[in-house]
Amino acid sequence: MVLTRSSKKAPKPQTPPVKNLSKAQTPPLSKAEKPQTLTSKKGAKSQKKPPLKKQKKDVVVEEEEVSDVESEEIDESDDGEKGSNGFFSDDDGEELLGDDFLEGSGDEEEVLSSDSDSDSDEDDIQKESEAIDRAKAKEEEDADAELLDFNKEAGPEEHETFRLPTQEELEEEARGPPDLPLLQSRIKEIVRALSNFNVLRPKGASRKECVEQLKTDLASYYGYNSFLIGALFELFPPVELMEIIEAFEKQRPTSIRTNTLKTRRRDLADVLLNRGVNLDPLSKWSKVGLVVYDSQVPIGATPEYLAGYYMLQGASSFLPVMALAPKENERIVDVAAAPGGKTTYVAALMKNTGLIFANEMKVPRLKSLTANLHRMGVTNTIVCNYDGRELPKVLGERSVDRVLLDAPCSGTGVISKDESVKTSKSLEDIKRFAHLQKQLLLAAIDLVDATSKTGGYIVYSTCSLMVAENEAVIDYALKKRNVQLVKTGLDFGQDGYRRFREHRFHPSLKQTKRFYPHVHNMDGFFVAKLKKMSNMKQASEDDDEAVETVEQADVSSDDDEEAEAMEEMEKLSVPSKQPKENKERLAKSKEKKKGKKDGKSKSINVERKPKKKRSDWKKEIAQAREEKRRAMRENSKGKQ
């Protein structure tokens, strides 16, 4: 039986090479010849496997060759049946088992081949994953090595030689003009040392000395005053401080906002591209913004600009309006509206429905506000000229649905636009702005109706980086009014501070957002969104009196003679209370001894009478301001 099978199947290995004439014929023949000399099972396996595999590979052949292959498969099936019958017999079990194993049906071998293919795929995936892991490990090693090289770029010997300048050397530098290359190299060395002070510490220098020298060098190299450099140093570590200072030295990209009342962003972009303006969509978070890289025509004097198709507006100015999220048919107040970028954006989102009160305190800025409103086609806005702190009295408390307060601030986030901020701001300015912002925010909260079906929100924003003008103001409002912080709806930006140095703020301040020029490529900005929970005030009468006395001090900035006179009278009365209270205590102790209680009670009653007349001086101040406004209007009309 064995001889007949081998004779039948001897030509079988020769058929696959006939199919693949283009391929090399020698390897299959050599493989077929070698197993004939072997008598073991392994030799038999090597004899049969190559033809089976080649039959699978060479499926598409000519018709004549297919017929030959079918005849051979019939022979194999006949042999397989014989082998299967012999498998259950007891004669020559081992040989018949080997023959039957080799001559099994094609389906079994297809399953085996598919299993081998799946195993090979799994092996390939495993190898690829191992290669990815090795690549990641190598990247981490390279990053660590690069960081080490950055810290020791000049070599350990040169770092050891670096030292802070002595007092004599500083005096010599102060006598002449600033040596900018020397300052720049020293700034880099100190920043590198502070990034890893334990390793790169200069000889004989403490961390405090390095920090003070860095502040001095930064102030002289970039033109800052000592206060602002110190304030920025409290906000950022040395490496990030250098990044934001360098970002302030560069202009932010020019951005424009599409006026959806008149056009669409795609149509506007096509028109401006035809005029030679190189632009792109601003970002994924804005559906109306475009960033302008360069332009062959003045971007603020195109026919589209004059027709009100777009507004020149910084990217950071989009954020407060997006956080406000105005709805149609609402009553909204913009406390500080000029020049009108945010107001027109609100009107576009409302589709010219509802009512907007655009307030601006400074009369010269009203012209730009009204001009932009007309140019952009806004028809649902009323322009008014009031102090933002008086709006609850003018419009009425609980009279609107939403309020946008882009408060006046120190401008420490827009130094790239106004470099005078580097030297003009001081601690007193920050305190003055913070106090004004607290008053404006309380007034804005009083304007909102907590029972509004769609609103009840207040958005507070500044272009300042100072914590005293941002988180501290919001924390003050949380204590004085029944409001809560809610999410701004902005998906990017850094969370506000919950703690800063010795200050501890409300935990919900993490829902506020901060934006930095070196991180987000826009002006420094702060945005917070408040929800008014009830119309009840949490502030006590003493706190209100304190706020009112400060309001008197702020009224003096309007050059109103009568207001100044009233303010001086009140100032004189406030410090006189302390000695009077001391005298009253002494009088009480004496009267207890001498029994003179009647005189004491009369003096107390006399002193308490002025407190009941606070409304009088408020009315007088309001009247004085109205008279002044009328006089200014009459003078302007007379000049015209």
355 pLDDT band (50/70/90 cuts)?
very high
Decide if 76 contacts 103 (C-beta within 8 A): yes
**Is 336 labelled a binding residue?**
yes
How many residues are present in the chain? 640
Which one of 210, 384, 409, 463 is the catalytic residue? 463
Q: Assign residue 426 a region: left if phi > 0, alpha if psi is -120 to 50, beta otherwise?
A: beta
**Is 545 labelled a binding residue?**
no
**Is 65 labelled a binding residue?**
no
φ, ψ (nearest 5 deg) of residue 178: -65, 135
What is the three-class DSSP state of 533? Answer: strand
Residue corresponding to tokens 């919001």: 474
User: What is the 3-state composition of the chain as percent helix, strand, coil, each rounded to the nearest 5?
Assistant: 60, 10, 25
CA 550 to chain centre: 36
Instruction: Indicate if 463 belongs to the active site.
Output: yes
Element (DSSP H or E) covering residue 134: helix 106-151
- Single-letter amino acid, residue 236: F
CB-CB neighbours of 634 under 10 Å: 10
| Residue 605 per-residue DSSP state | H
Q: What local confidence, expressed as pLDDT, does residue 614 receive? A: 63
109 pLDDT band (50/70/90 cuts)?
very low
The predicted-structure confidence for 318-333, as pLDDT tens digits, reads as follows 999 999 999 999 999 9
**Is 406 labelled a binding residue?**
yes
Cα–Cα distance, 289 to 255 (Å, whole number): 7
The predicted-structure confidence for 593-625, as pLDDT tens digits, reads as follows 555 444 444 443 444 444 446 667 777 888 888
What does the domain layout of the chain look like in residue ranges?
167-249, 253-312, 316-538
Which residues, in sequence order, are CB contacts of 619 under 8 Å at separation 6+?
none
As assigned by CATH, the class of the 316-538 domain is alpha beta
Classify residue 129 by burial, with Cβ atoms within 10 Å: 0-12, 13-18, 19+. Answer: exposed
Decide if 286 contacts 345 (C-beta within 8 A): no
The predicted-structure confidence for 120-165, as pLDDT tens digits, reads as follows 667 778 888 888 888 888 888 887 777 666 555 544 444 455 778 8
Domain 253-312, classified CATH 3.40.50.620, yes or no: no
Tokens of 85: 């019958």
Decide if 449 contacts 475 (C-beta within 8 A): no
Q: What is the DSSP string of 5-51?
A: HHHHHSSGGGHHHHH-SSS-SHHHHHHHHHHHT--SHHHHHHHHHHH
Axis-axis angle for helices 614-639, 541-555 (nearest 10): 30
Residue 165 or 518, more confident: 518
Q: What local confidence, expressed as pLDDT, does residue 397 receive? A: 92
Least confident of 159-163, 438-442, 550-554: 550-554
